[in-house]
Amino acid sequence: MLLSKNRIRRALFLFAEKNTGIFTIVVEIFLFNGGYMDNSYHSLNALFAQLGLDNSDEHISLFIDNNKLPSNVLIVDAPFWNQGQKHFIEESLNADADWSEVIDTLDALLR
């Protein structure tokens, strides 16, 4: 399994928080690489709200049950997204944005 830059950064940041002796080194690596650490966590409810969908737990369950994707279709190419939703998902995944982790979770749930 390949790890995205954002996930590696999160893991390093969490490791540095627990091991303060190397914190300075990790921060210097981030600064050298132009790294930015966003510790925000996005839930499925937050993703659905961001996509302009009903973000209640019930609606999310119905959405997942009614919109299964075959293994050969990328989540960004799913037929149920409008152009704005597709653009958001595509840009988030391409930029390895903080939303990419919850998009990956939704992708797995739609399989």
Instruction: Tell me the pLDDT tens digit for each residue of 40-53.
Output: 578 899 999 999 99
Residue 65's pLDDT is what?
94
CATH class entry, domain 44-109: mainly alpha
What CA–CA distance (Å, rounded) separates 62 from 93? 24
Residue 103's pLDDT is what?
94
Instruction: Tell me the pLDDT tens digit for each residue of 67-79.
Output: 999 999 999 999 9
Instruction: Tell me the pLDDT tens digit for each residue of 87-105.
Output: 999 999 988 878 998 999 9
Residue 27's pLDDT is what?
46
Residue 42's pLDDT is what?
81
Residue 25's pLDDT is what?
45
**Interior CA angle at 27 toward 21 and 89, to 5°?**
130
**DSSP for 34-65, written as a single string:** T---------HHHHHHHTTS--SHHHHHHHHH
Residue 95's pLDDT is what?
85
Cβ proximity of 80 and 73 under 8 Å: no
Region 3-9: what's the mean pLDDT? 56
